[in-house]
Structures are given as structure tokens and as C-alpha cells.
A and B are shown apart, each in its own frame.
Chain A
């Protein structure tokens, strides 16, 4: 929704230097409290993770085979990072609450709701979006089958649906109807393409 203008990008860069400074402060805070703790229990001093935010923080991801780095607020979801920062708008945000699976992407090859995943939690991960599913000009068999069986109507749920179905075929090359239903049980389609999604996914499995 909120596309970053280059102005904001600049701001993000300046925040980076701020964060570097802030990092030092944070570290010394940790050291101080660790010192206090060490007074009581020297061996078990916990190492707290560095505090992120409130400003932007860097997140490095491998998105569709490309190394990417984005500067986002810690509250930014993976869906927002993909859409607003990397301009990969194929991933759709529909409920923003984990209730519809429209935002499904693969995180380290497993389907997740990108609206329920913080971008910072995906740091260092491999992300595959619907834009990265095809192998160059060769569509993924699920994509082919969705076209063949007219399994998209308005198309808005389709990227999530395709990622769920292709995700299923990745872990189960020979699924039955119940497997397809289980894999897409979270994907809502208001146009009612479900019967065609079944057909398309089963057909794609046969071709793979």
C-alpha cells in the first residue's frame, strides 16, 4: 500500500547511521545489566538479542534467487516488505490477519502467510514469491494447469492459491484430492474457483 519514495529511502539511510550509534548504546546497556546479573549467577548470563527499532533496520533476504536488502521498521511484515519495498506486487494482502492465505509465499521452501511473518524474522531466509515460481519463461506446472483449467476468475486469490498448490507438490509429488484440500484449506476464493483448483492441481501433479 505504502510505496517507499526515494525520499524515504534517503531517510532510511540516515536512520541506518543513527541505528549504528544506537547499537553502541544498546550494547553497553546489555553489558551493564549482564554485569548486574553476573553478580548473582555468573555462569548463566543470558545474551540478549540486539534491540531493533523504532527506526528502520536492515533485512537481507534471498528473494526469487536474488540477494536483496531492505530497510524496514521492525513492525513491517514480509508482505509489506515484498510489495512496498521490493515492488513485488504479485503477493496480495487481503485480510492482513492470517485468515485467507492470499499472501502465501515460500519461506525456505515452506508456504507461509507473509502478512503474519515479520520481515525481520525472515532475515537471511530464502523467499519465493509467485513472481519467482516460473523457471524463466517456463511456467511451473501448477501455473500451466491453472491456465489450462481456467482456475482463476478475478485472479486476486490466485497467487496465494498457486503458491499453496505448488508448495504441496513440492512436498508430495503424488497428492490425492484430500491432500489438495488440506493444502488449500486456508485459501479463500470469493469467486468460487475451488472445483477448478482441485482439477488443476491434480493435473499438474500428473505432469510433474
Chain B
């Protein structure tokens, strides 16, 4: 089934937040954020700004009737700064004016006196100073201390990944409208309507029942609107409450980039030990997560780094520790992969390091250590339904790894200024929210008396095609023409207490809740038909809007059945509730069964480097992916292509640049490059693993939102491989992204002051933002 929104998208008729027709009297809010990254506010003078024509009011922390608090996991983040500011762009006030132009003009007239304080941007520095968001956590399996003695080869080093701007094409925004009796209706571009509702209620000092949040669709989220859509919605609602006027707050691109958090930069240390026959015996890693100035979702992101620290490999002795380090950057947040990619990059670096020193191709080590059914993850879950061996052999038979290697070697032998390289990137990604209580969802289904159907779920459509999948489920279950089913907006008054659309689990959770609701309705309808035809409900079937009894078509249509049921006063509305079974996790032991299932896959990436200029192009990415039984191949393949491109962007061209004053230098689309049409691989081939699928997945169709992003990690190692063909003395720095500039320097060993030893590969550049090579 095609994306149900496509027609609206291509004709410009789809409505996004900023397209909602405004109500007369609507006022516009612009956020005034801190110009410094850390300091004490001595004085603020709003008088000039307030005197400007068209400026209605400036709202600060003093105007908040409830709690000045928006922290979801840890209450450590005010909506508006009070005395202290902790990052550049931290909201201090909301200027409300008759237009956003006027509000922006007024913003320039605010006078602020701040005593600056010490600024920390490096997570390792923060950790040394004891600036942590929460105590560190460690996952362990076996005993690494003892295991080192058994290792024949031991390598250690450092691996860093930079952050990533979400760059959802639609910026953050919300529109709050005051209703009667102090109620407020908020339209928000959020992945988490309930988070907006809960936080707004808290700040406004009212019950959640007073706040309605409605989401039609998002112009992209990628995690950036899971938690960080909330403040703007709360501000708009606060303005609406105080002024009794509709208030719209839509960030412009530069404000959005400056004020919101990103994917977390990580700096990490690893130590890996192998046996004579190249089996990984032990692995240790320490992750320093750059959390930014407040917790936001950092503790959960950090947890997923630990969950995925060993990626697709079985390691019998593991000890991995993560620190969530408090720095003076905007609070970093969820981004597709949610800490998993950062953890995986480190073990892939460790393997690349070992392979280079041992002079074997990295893929030999990767293949030898793949996870098998029955293996234990460091967090206690036993691997089941793995298929990685199968995936690897599919890759070999369909895309012939050796032939690719041979072809590349031959090319490199014949070209001196151009080199090719390749890499393999296996991925194992756990599906479920790692916080068990979040794995629940509800769906509300109405069958109207004319036989048409309305469906509401807690899922937010942000381009991942979840609404299409939901509609597909309802239409299939009722055997109805999809035109007769409508997907309603996501609204907290219809489906309450929702989890955000995140963790790749949205279709599974909401789809299963929807199935339950449809099943309950079908049961009642079939009973009614069975009574009518004097048969048992098991004899009744519904096919193409016709009622079948004992395998034969009857004269009764779906419409007639619905009508009959309605006249019999049978309830034609149902609310389905689903909670993922089995899963659990005990944080005191750091053990359990946190994931409903895992998604696996393997990517083969081929790259060409121009060794004169350092520029590169991806010739091909070939993927074998475990979809389970995909319920919508077109949507799912789109997710793979999109995730892959985003992952490649993170690893190659997207260079987030904060200076040592905590100022974002890459603060616009001209300073921060995301993949354009020339950056996508020339060829993307996707093969589906033959499998029976997993019952925990909706219609056995496995989650597909996040896992493909991590195929992009292969881009980094393919580039390394090509560089080495040109410059055999190249020393890995494991410092993503591998920008064109960095590649050029690496080709000629000019990349920073490098030190290499058997026990360490280090780059003087990493972790020190202001000496990063400027774009």
C-alpha cells in the first residue's frame, strides 16, 4: 500500500504546524536565549523591547504559575532561566508581539548583564571535575580482569564520534489556543504528545485534563522532537493562559539549530583482547557522553550505548562503563539510534584497530565473532532468532565479498590518484523502549453506522509511514476498501498516556493495540451475523465488504451487518490496549530481557577517493536486512535508504562545530552540510533475509526505523580502507566524521599530531572542538 499522505504532499495540501490557519487575534512568540554558555544573570532590562510598537508582553520565569521545570527523566531543566544560564541559547524569556518580525526586532533591544562562569565543552573534562548528570553505569559479563591473561592479542585506543544536528526539515513549533474554562488546546510538532501535555500542565499549574495536544504530522523528527518539542509548546500555552489569546511559537532555522540539542558526541576508550584464532575473549570500553547542560533523555541514551556496546558480536567477557557528562552545550537528546550507534562505532574501531595490527581484513574478525542463537548479551538476554550467519552467507552469495575485494585491489593497483575501499558493517539492534513501562499503547476504533471506520492511535506520523501501516492493518482486518478508513490526528483526548513515537517501536505497539481493538469489534460483529444466519461465529468471515457464512457469500454486506449491529445496540467502538509481554530489566543488577526482539543486518559499503583532493563518493551500499515479513516493502525500503543516508552523513560530512565558548559555529544550513542528492551512494541494493518473521513484531514485520542508520558506520571504515591503499603508513584516528578535509590530511599524514603504539592510537584533535578543522 502506498503512503496515504502522498497526494497531499505532492499537491502542497498536507497541513503541518505552521500551515494551520490562524485564528484572528493570534500573537507570535519569539524566544530570547542566553548569549553566553555559562553565567549568572545580574540584570535584564526589557523596557526598550516592551516599548516597541506591536510588542504585547515579555514572559519570564516570574510569570509561571506552576513549576518552572521541564526535565522529563531528571527535574534539572527550567523552562526559563532564573539566575543561572548553562548553555548558549538557553531560553530566558518569550517575547510576544503582533508578528514574529516585531518580536524578533524587540529581542535585539533586550539588555542583559551576565557574569560569565567557567565553560566546559569536553565531556572528559566534565567527568574529571565530577560534573555528571547521574552516577556512571556498568554492564558486565564474565570477568575481563581474568580474561586478559588468556588473550594473545590486546589492543587499546580511543574512538570519538561527533554529534549530529537533526535538521528535521520542519523546524520546532507549537500553536496554543485558549478554550473555555481555562482549557488550552495545543497543536504541536511533537513526537511525544503526552510529554507536551504533562509538562504544560505542570508548568501552568493545572491538571492534564485541561490540556489537549493534537498532532497531525511532523515534517521530520528523528528523535529531535521526542523531548525537545516540549518547551516551545509549553511557552505557547503559557502565553495563551496569561493573555487569553492564541499564541504561535515557530522557531526559525537558526534559532532552532542554536537552541536545541543534537545527537550526543561521545569520546570513548576501548580495550579488546583476542585469542590465537581471532575470537574476541574480552572487551572493555569507557564511554564519555557529552550530555550538554541538562539531563533531557541522556540517561536513557547512555543506557542504550551500553546495550549495544558489543553490537552484533558475542564476547564472553565484557565490562563497559558509561559516564553522562554535564557540559555547557544545549542538552543533547534522542536521535535515530539513540546512543546505539555511538557504542557500535567504538567496537567497530577496536576491531579495525586489531585487524590492521594483525594484518587481516576486518571482515575476517567480524565474521568470526558474530552472535549466534543462545549467546548471552552483556545485559543477560539470550540471543534468539539471530540469523546473522545466514545474513552473512546471503551477503557472500548475493554480493560476493571476495569478488568485490578483488575488483577493488585490481583497481587500486592500476590507479595512483584514485583509490577504492570497502567495509562490512553488521548491525544488531534491540527493539523496545529500554524503560519497560513505556512499552504500552492504545488504539481507539469507531465503526460508524454507515460502515466507514475512524482510527486513532498514539502513533505520530513523521514520515516513517506509521499512519499508512495503521490504516493498512484496520483495512485488512475488516477487509474494507482503505478509502473507507480514516486515520485521525494523534490527540491526547482520544488516546491518552501515550509513549512518544520513538525506539522504532511505534508500529509494533500501536499496531498491536489496533489489532486488539479490531479483533474485539470483529468478534461482536461475527456473533451478530452468526445469530442472524443461525451458525456459529467461527463460520462467519468478512471478505471485501461482504459477509460469508460457512465459506459461502451471503446477501449481507458489511454495511448491512454494521447497520444491523447498531440497531441491536451492539457497541461499535473499541479501545485496544497492548503491553509488550516478556520484557523486563532490573537496573540494580543491570540484567534482564529488555528487548522484544532484535533486528539484524549487514551492509557492504564501497567508496572511491580522489587522492589529490581528498573528496570521496560512495559507489555502492549493498545490504542484507532482516525485515521479518515486511508488511509494506515500499515504506520499509524508504526507511532503509533514508536511515542509511543519515548514517553516512553523520560519519562523513556533517560536522557539528561548537567553539570552546560553547557557541555553535555550524549554525545554519550553509555552515552545516547534510547529504544532498550527490552524496547518496550511486547504488543502494537491499536484499531481504528470508525468515519467518517474529511474532512480537506487528504482522511479523520487524521494526525498521532506527537500525539502518547504523549501516552508515560502514562509510567511515570504507574510507579508512581506501586511504590505506594510497597511504600504507596511515594511522587510524577513529574520529568521526571523516570529512573531505580530514581525508585529505590523512592521505598525506598531516592529520594532527599523531601518536601510535601497540597499545594506543590517539589523535590530538579529538575532544577539542576549537581546533577541529573548519569547513
Closest to A186 in B: B676
Residues of chain B lying within 8 A (CB to CB) of residue A190: 166-169, 220, 222, 646, 674
Contact A156 B16 (CB under 8 A): yes
* Contacting residue for B465 out of A153, A158, A188, A192, CB 8 A: A153
Q: Which of A38-46, A49-57, A93-101, A117-125 contacts B (4 or more CB under 8 A)?
A: A93-101
Residues of chain A lying within 8 A (CB to CB) of residue B463: 153-156, 191
Which residues of A from 57 to 102 have beta carbons under 8 Å from B? Answer: 87-92, 94-97, 99-100, 102
Contact B2 A154 (CB under 8 A): no
Contact of A193 with B13 at beta-carbon distance under 8 Å, contacts A5-B24, A99-B669, A152-B6 already known? no
Residues of chain B lying within 8 A (CB to CB) of residue A196: 638, 641
Contact A155 B5 (CB under 8 A): yes
Contact B167 A2 (CB under 8 A): no
A162 within 8 A of B: yes
Contact A155 B677 (CB under 8 A): no
Interface centre among A3, A146, A147, A156 (most CB of B within 10 A): A156
Query: What is the predominant secondary structure among interface residues of chain A facing chain B?
Result: loop
B67 within 8 A of A: no
Closest to A200 in B: B10
A1 within 8 A of B: yes
Q: Which of B152-160, B245-253, B440-448, B480-488 contacts A (4 or more CB under 8 A)?
A: B245-253
Contact A155 B668 (CB under 8 A): no
Residues of chain A lying within 8 A (CB to CB) of residue B670: 95, 97, 99
Contact B11 A185 (CB under 8 A): no
A114 within 8 A of B: no
Contact B10 A147 (CB under 8 A): yes
* Contacting residue for A188 out of B101, B169, B638, B642, CB 8 A: B169
Please, how many residues of chain A have a CB less than 8 angstroms from a CB on the other chain?
56
Contact B169 A102 (CB under 8 A): yes
Taking the closest CB of chain A, its distance from the CB of B578, in whole angstroms, is 26
* Contacting residue for A147 out of B7, B217, B635, B643, CB 8 A: B7
Contact B10 A95 (CB under 8 A): no
* Contacting residue for B675 out of A94, A134, A192, CB 8 A: A192
Per-residue contact bits, chain B 95-113, to A (CB 8 Å; 1 contact, 0 not)? 0001111000000000000
Residues of chain B lying within 8 A (CB to CB) of residue A195: 641, 680, 684
Contact B9 A152 (CB under 8 A): yes
A111 within 8 A of B: no
Closest to B24 in A: A5
Closest to B645 in A: A192
Query: What is the predominant secondary structure among interface residues of chain B facing chain A?
Result: loop
Which residues of B from 652 to 696 have beta carbons under 8 Å from A? Answer: 668-670, 674-678, 680, 684
Contact B169 A197 (CB under 8 A): no
Contact of A188 with B13 at beta-carbon distance under 8 Å, contacts A155-B219, A193-B638, A195-B680 already known? no
Roughly how many angstroms separate A131 CA and B12 CA in the complex, as a whole number? 6
Taking the closest CB of chain B, its distance from the CB of A174, in whole angstroms, is 19
A32 within 8 A of B: no
B650 within 8 A of A: no
Roughly how many angstroms separate A181 CA and B12 CA in the complex, as a whole number? 22
Roughly how many angstroms separate A145 CA and B115 CA in the complex, as a whole number? 58
B82 within 8 A of A: no
Contact A154 B169 (CB under 8 A): yes
A107 within 8 A of B: no
B34 within 8 A of A: no
Roughly how many angstroms separate A45 CA and B676 CA in the complex, as a whole number? 49
Contact A191 B220 (CB under 8 A): yes
B347 within 8 A of A: no
Roughly how many angstroms separate A190 CA and B675 CA in the complex, as a whole number? 8
A150 within 8 A of B: yes
* Contacting residue for A156 out of B100, B169, B678, CB 8 A: B169
Q: How large is the interface on B (under 10, 10 to 19, 20 to 34, 35 or more residues)?
A: 35 or more
Residues of chain B lying within 8 A (CB to CB) of residue A197: 677
Contact B101 A2 (CB under 8 A): yes
Closest to B257 in A: A95
Roughly how many angstroms separate A18 CA and B167 CA in the complex, as a whole number? 43
Contact B668 A131 (CB under 8 A): no
Taking the closest CB of chain B, its distance from the CB of A51, in whole angstroms, is 21
Residues of chain B lying within 8 A (CB to CB) of residue A87: 21
Taking the closest CB of chain A, its distance from the CB of B31, in whole angstroms, is 14
Residues of chain B lying within 8 A (CB to CB) of residue A95: 253, 668-670
Taking the closest CB of chain B, its distance from the CB of A167, in whole angstroms, is 14
Closest to B646 in A: A192
Which residues of A from 1 to 60 have beta carbons under 8 Å from B? Answer: 1-3, 5-8
Closest to B461 in A: A154
Taking the closest CB of chain B, its distance from the CB of A192, in whole angstroms, is 3
Contact of A147 with B13 at beta-carbon distance under 8 Å, contacts A5-B26, A188-B169 already known? no
Closest to A148 in B: B2
Contact B465 A181 (CB under 8 A): no
Closest to A149 in B: B634
B550 within 8 A of A: no
* Contacting residue for A129 out of B12, B668, B675, B680, CB 8 A: B12
Residues of chain A lying within 8 A (CB to CB) of residue B18: 1, 89
* Contacting residue for A185 out of B220, B222, B677, CB 8 A: B677
Roughly how many angstroms separate A92 CA and B169 CA in the complex, as a whole number? 9
Roughly how many angstroms separate A54 CA and B37 CA in the complex, as a whole number? 37
Roughly how many angstroms separate A195 CA and B26 CA in the complex, as a whole number? 41
Contact A6 B24 (CB under 8 A): yes
Roughly how many angstroms separate A102 CA and B16 CA in the complex, as a whole number? 14
Residues of chain A lying within 8 A (CB to CB) of residue B21: 3, 87
B14 within 8 A of A: yes
Which residues of B from 123 to 143 have beta carbons under 8 Å from A? Answer: none
Taking the closest CB of chain B, its distance from the CB of A103, in whole angstroms, is 11
Contact B644 A192 (CB under 8 A): yes
Contact of A131 with B638 at beta-carbon distance under 8 Å, contacts A2-B100, A89-B18, A181-B677 already known? no
Contact A88 B100 (CB under 8 A): no
Per-residue contact bits, chain B 1-43, to A (CB 8 Å; 1 contact, 0 not)? 0110111111111111011011011101000000000000000
Contact B28 A157 (CB under 8 A): no
Roughly how many angstroms separate A153 CA and B13 CA in the complex, as a whole number? 15
Interface centre among A88, A99, A131 (most CB of B within 10 A): A99
Taking the closest CB of chain B, its distance from the CB of A12, in whole angstroms, is 13
Contact B218 A192 (CB under 8 A): no
Roughly how many angstroms separate A94 CA and B172 CA in the complex, as a whole number? 11
Closest to B675 in A: A192
Roughly how many angstroms separate A90 CA and B440 CA in the complex, as a whole number? 36
User: Can you give 11 contacting A-B residue pairs, CB < 8 Å?
Assistant: A1-B100, A87-B21, A90-B11, A92-B169, A130-B11, A147-B10, A188-B669, A191-B463, A194-B641, A195-B641, A196-B641
Complex A-B, nearest 8 residue pairs according to Cβ-Cβ distance, in ascending order: A90-B12, A154-B463, A156-B219, A155-B9, A192-B642, A192-B645, A130-B12, A153-B463
Given contacts A96-B253, A155-B5, A196-B641, 6 further A-B contacts (CB under 8 A): A92-B16, A190-B674, A191-B220, A192-B641, A192-B675, A194-B680
